[in-house]
Structure 1
Amino acid sequence: MTMEAPAALLPAPFTVSMMKSPGQTRNARSRSRCIVGLRPATRASALPDLGADPIDHLLALDPGGRGIGRFFQPGGARRAADTLRRARRVLVTTGFVVDSGAAETDGPPGAAVLGRALRALGAEVRYVTDAVTAPVLSAALTALGEAADVIAWPDGDDAARRLLASERPTHLVAIERPGRARDGTYRNMRGADVSEWNAGIDELFVRAGRVTTVGVGDGGNEIGMGNVRARLAKGGGLAARIASVVSVDHLVVAGVSNWGAYGIVAHLGRLAGRPLLHTPDDERRLVTACVAAGACDGVTRRREPTVDGLALDTHAALVTLLGVAAKARA
């Protein structure tokens, strides 16, 4: 795998393109044996002004071609880090179950990396998720050497109220967790109703009150995308149908949700004056551990160590670049 390293990292809007190596078959390409290149975003996915911060330029990469330029939030990761650096008690949720019994590889790694960074800064961090995602998230935490302090989402209509009362979080964070659409259902990127497999954890954010909330997503159907629903709905069709109505105080949009969480950690490290981001080798262990615990790629639906259809080396390279970007001053 090769990845171009532009001046100032990424000075203009880019998307990631998969390019087949000479002599490579389509099947090999689908198995993510690829070269990762950078190409300018198309008009449909043109980004807002990203300024000089290289972290934003990396998060704005659009590997899935979802057109995140329509709803990308420049400075979102920085603002999330600004509020989380002072957090006392953080409740983190993640997990998008795409099929019965299979959670995505996107989300749990990001939750584990962010949770570890917040604990290093002195916050008390706990995690809440559904029964399907719990073993995947626990595996990610264990891979990082973290305690798997995962709360199972309780039964009952008042689950959110009871959990908020017992945990008393100062901050709530959702990373790639479905948020209800206008019709009250949870929808995947294909528009299918996946409510049967995804617990109503977004109710925590609806009932948050004075608790500071952060949402990280990449497709428009996650907790937090209520902040940009008008933009998503403007396109009509599928985007409008799957768009979440659940809003947050701070929204982070990225080409892959894990990357959004890593971007927050890169900013936290910059603010703390010390590295908090994980390593490329950690990234490989994280994703591999999630798959071993039952996770699948949310795009390919295969139980293999890829995330959103992208090879593991691609994600490791992104971690490397974020580590460089964290040392730069915007």
Structure 2
Amino acid sequence: MPVAETDGPPGAVLAGETLRKLSYHVSYVADPVTCNVLRACLKSIAADDHCVHEFYARHDEEEQIAEAHRLINLLKPKAMIAGELCSRSWNDGIRHNMKGKNINDWNPPVDEMLVQFKGRGIIIAVGDGGNEAGMANLKDNIPLASDGKTIMASGVYSDIPVTSWNSNLGLQAVASIAAAIESRFELIPTADQVIKTIEAALDAGAVEGVTQGKQENSLNGSYATRGVDGFAPYVHAADQDKLKSTLIQMKIKAML
């Protein structure tokens, strides 16, 4: 049964709600499983969850293109921000994880949204491994999967690819920078919100990506089984605090 990871939905929600407070019209699009996690994250920070839209399509070219067009025509976006969105490989069109395994069955073709929107507006994409939608711009610098042979690099392009050690932080950074440019530092996501959204994602069934939530995968406790990418929520909260402090200093020094 497909499950969502804790990297992606929390950051998407914190970025989206920051942008909404900056007067952008924001909608969220994901597969049905991830949409449930997005709704939980939104509720955790007392945000409206009626802006979540489910992408329904199998891995069928005609079907996924039609679904992408349906949502684009419905929402009429001027821009798209994608984060930790699993992408087809440029080499074989299959979605591979960092180990090189075929994960098409776990990931509906939501990346078709970016393919069909390309050229219609700005696409910002956030990734941390290179197999995410929007990272094809960087494919020549993306390594093979950990099996040493599988090309996992994305085949879906963006206008602005953003790399980050985890995609939640990258998504939060995009919106935090937008708020800082407008000197609206009070709108930058807080450490408390980071913890709330990660905990909400976990409670909604999302799993930590490195260990899959299993103690036997934690390398004797080296990795947190309840967190994001091997680290507990408080670590990610501290990163967000550091990001905000950095942006304040950049604004003071006229670097924004």
- Give me the TM-score of the superposition, normalised by structure 2: 0.85
Residue 121 (structure 1) aligned with residue 41 (structure 2)? no
Q: 2:68 aligns with which of 160, 174, 177?
A: 160
Separation of aligned partners in 2, 1:234 and 1:296: 24
Q: 2:240 aligns with which of 319, 324, 327?
A: 319
Q: 2:198 aligns with which of 260, 279, 287?
A: 287
Residue 250 (structure 1) aligned with residue 160 (structure 2)? yes
Secondary structure in 2 matching 1:132: helix
- Structure 1 position 203, deviation (Å): 0.9
- Structure 1 position 187, deviation (Å): 1.0
Map of 1:196 onto structure 2: 105
- Structure 1 position 234, deviation (Å): 8.3
Map of 2:219 onto structure 1: none
Q: Which has the higher strand share?
A: 1
Q: Aligned ranges for residues 133-144 of structure 1 at < 5 Å?
A: 133-144=34-45
Q: Could you say if the C-alpha distance between residues 237 and 299 of structure 1 is closer, same or farther in structure 2, counting changes exceeding 3 Å?
A: closer
- Structure 1 position 212, deviation (Å): 1.2
Q: Aligned ranges for residues 8-87 of structure 1 at < 5 Å?
A: none
- Structure 1 position 107, deviation (Å): 0.3
Map of 2:9 onto structure 1: 108
Q: Once structures 1 and 2 are overlaid, which stretch shifts more, 178-187 or 301-310?
A: 301-310
Separation of aligned partners in 2, 1:145 and 1:238: 44
Task: Tell me, yes or no, if the aligned pair for 1:187 and 1:221 is still in contact at 8 Å.
Answer: yes
Task: Tell me, yes or no, if the aligned pair for 1:233 and 1:240 is still in contact at 8 Å.
Answer: no
Q: Aligned ranges for residues 264-279 of structure 1 at < 5 Å?
A: 264-275=174-185, 276-279=187-190
Report the aligned-residue RMSD.
1.9
Task: Tell me, yes or no, if the aligned pair for 1:205 and 1:248 is still in contact at 8 Å.
Answer: yes
Residue 185 (structure 1) aligned with residue 86 (structure 2)? no
Task: Tell me, yes or no, if the aligned pair for 2:3 and 2:33 is still in contact at 8 Å.
Answer: yes
Q: Could you say if the C-alpha distance between residues 256 and 239 of structure 1 is closer, same or farther in structure 2, counting changes exceeding 3 Å?
A: farther
Map of 2:132 onto structure 1: 222
Q: 1:297 aligns with which of 208, 214, 221?
A: 208
Task: Tell me, yes or no, if the aligned pair for 1:105 and 1:306 is still in contact at 8 Å.
Answer: yes
Map of 2:52 onto structure 1: 150
- Give me the TM-score of the superposition, normalised by structure 1: 0.67
Separation of aligned partners in 1, 2:99 and 2:40: 28
Secondary structure in 2 matching 1:166: helix
Residue 86 of structure 2 aligns with an amino acid whose one-letter code is P
Separation of aligned partners in 2, 1:267 and 1:274: 10
May I ask how many residue pairs the two structures share in their alignment?
231
Identity %: 35
Q: Which has the higher helix share?
A: 2
- Structure 1 position 216, deviation (Å): 0.3
Secondary structure in 2 matching 1:207: helix
Q: Could you say if the C-alpha distance between residues 236 and 132 of structure 1 is closer, same or farther in structure 2, counting changes exceeding 3 Å?
A: closer
- Structure 1 position 239, deviation (Å): 7.9
Secondary structure in 1 matching 2:168: helix
- Runs of 4 or more above 2 Å deviation: 154-157, 233-240
Q: 1:241 aligns with which of 137, 151, 154?
A: 151
Task: Tell me, yes or no, if the aligned pair for 1:175 and 1:216 is still in contact at 8 Å.
Answer: yes
Q: Could you say if the C-alpha distance between residues 119 and 239 of structure 1 is closer, same or farther in structure 2, counting changes exceeding 3 Å?
A: farther
Task: Tell me, yes or no, if the aligned pair for 1:306 and 1:312 is still in contact at 8 Å.
Answer: yes
Task: Tell me, yes or no, if the aligned pair for 2:11 and 2:172 is still in contact at 8 Å.
Answer: yes
Secondary structure in 1 matching 2:27: strand
Map of 1:309 onto structure 2: 230
- Structure 1 position 115, deviation (Å): 0.4
Map of 1:48 onto structure 2: none
Separation of aligned partners in 1, 2:236 and 2:149: 26
Separation of aligned partners in 2, 1:239 and 1:204: 28
Separation of aligned partners in 2, 1:188 and 1:253: 17
Q: Could you say if the C-alpha distance between residues 234 and 313 of structure 1 is closer, same or farther in structure 2, counting changes exceeding 3 Å?
A: closer
